[in-house]
Amino acid sequence: MKAVINSVLTICAVALIYICYASIMGPINFKKEKAIRDKAVIARLMDIRKAQQEYHMRNHGVYTASFDTLIDFVQSQKIPLVKKIGILSDSQLENGLTEQKAVKIVNAAKKTHQYNDVKKWGLENFSRDTMWISILDTVFPKGFVADSMRYIPYGNGAKFEMNIKNDKTKSGAPVHLYEVKAPYDTYLNGLDKQEIANIKDMQTKLGKYSGLMIGSIDSPNNGAGNWE
Please indicate whether residue 22 or residue 95 has the higher confidence score (pLDDT).
95
For 192, residues 6+ apart whose C-beta sits below 8 A from its C-beta are 26, 30
DSSP state, residue 95: T
The number of helix segments (H) and strand segments (E) in the chain equals: 8, 5
Q: Are 151 and 180 in contact (CB under 8 A)?
A: no
pLDDT at 136 over 80: yes
Q: Are 179 and 213 in contact (CB under 8 A)?
A: yes
Q: Per residue in 31-61, pLDDT tens?
A: 999 999 999 999 999 999 999 999 999 998 9
DSSP per residue, 160-196: -EEEEEEEE-TT--EEEEEEEEEEHHHHTTTS-HHHH
- 3-state SS assignment for residue 86: coil
pLDDT at 16 over 70: no
Rg (CA), the chain: 29
pLDDT at 174 over 60: yes
